[in-house]
Amino acid sequence: MFRLLAPLAAVSLLASSVGAPVAHAQNVSGDEQRAARKGVRDGKVLPLKEIERRVVPQMQAGGMEYLGPAYDPIAKAYRLKFIKNGKVTFVDIDAQSGQILSRSQ
């Protein structure tokens, strides 16, 4: 019986220790989202939908799948994440002008 419970206990312990960073990541993401919304309201940055409308079709035309966005309030830049053939590509976009700043893998 102990042989069956030991792995279960180990998995439980691991899962509980992993939860803390995930919760922190969600808070950071929420802060980024609030900053982006404030920037849009203040007229300082373009809405994410506008950025996606400009960039996502270009990347999808190249066979890439869109995974999602992130926002950096300090740099005032969006980072869109794409994947193709198992390789992830990040596209950084100036949130004020909508210009692509860089692409990286």
pLDDT in tens, 3-58: 444 444 444 443 444 443 333 334 447 888 888 888 888 888 999 999 999 999 99
Euclidean distance between CA atoms 78 and 34, whole angstroms = 13
pLDDT at 86 over 50: yes
Which has more pLDDT, 2 or 68?
Answer: 68
Q: What is the mean pLDDT of residues 60-71?
A: 96
* Cβ atoms 81, 68 nearer than 8 A: yes
pTM beyond 0.75: the answer is no
Closest by CA to 44, choosing from 33, 56, 54, 36, is 36
Residue 93 has phi, psi (to 5 degrees) of -125, 135
pLDDT at 64 over 50: yes
**What integer pLDDT is reported at residue 76 of this predicted model?**
93
83, two tokens: 């994947």
pLDDT tier for residue 1 given thresholds of 50, 70 and 90:
very low
In SS3 terms, 24-48 reads as: HHHHHHHHHHHHHHHHHHCCCCCCH
